[in-house]
Amino acid sequence: MNLHLFDDVPDGLTLRARSFVRAHGVKADVRPVKEHRQWWLERGVPAAVIDRMVAYQERWGGLVLPPAPRYDGGPKYFDPDSPESDSAGSWFEAGPQRASVPYSFMIGPRGEFGIHGDGWVPLHATVEGWVESLALAYHASMWAKQVTKLVGDDVDGVALDGYEPVRETTGLADTWWRGPDSLVAFYNGEAESLGFPRGRVALVYSGLDEWGLRGGVEAGGE
């Protein structure tokens, strides 16, 4: 696989996420989706689904980011494939797995980023939300004095009084919360998709100063 600098960082990201992509992202060569258009049309894939895949690839195609804290690192890189549709809408693969996991990373009918195992679970309302979550995880782990991992029923013990949602991550099954001196990330996707309650995980990044809590989010970015 040939890798290059990822110079064209998509808009719509916070300063923190843009800096993260510039510093840590590289681009892999991927074959243009539009070359497969006729093949997919002949197999009943709606043109609108193919158009969504082309737009996704033009914006994110080939982007390789460092591994995520959960989901065994997330996609190896962004590249659409395997379109499918049913009465509820259409999905396509967001990119190949980085490691062996019992689900695929998918883009949902409304552009959600999620996983599909025993069932479809959107993790974030947008691809940008997944990238923001990854950038925030790296930021928080760098500045936190302590990181605590809670699993299964222990996650219920996390008190969020005085916390606010971190809106740029557009969380659905997975959410981030900001408190007076800590950030909390909840990862519920595996538990929901695989029917595995012990798959719930919370990571608490504590001992953060103002930069650790909010650094890299420009005014109006939340």
Q: What pLDDT shows up at residue 56?
A: 97
Indicate if the pLDDT at residue 81 is higher than 90: yes
Q: What pLDDT shows up at residue 217?
A: 80
Tell the residue number behind the tokens 């499918």, with chain if given: 84
Indicate if the pLDDT at residue 221 is higher than 60: no
Q: How many residues does the chain have?
A: 222
Q: What pLDDT shows up at residue 84?
A: 86
| Mean pLDDT over the full length of the chain | 93
Q: What pLDDT shows up at residue 88?
A: 77
Indicate if the pLDDT at residue 222 is higher than 60: no
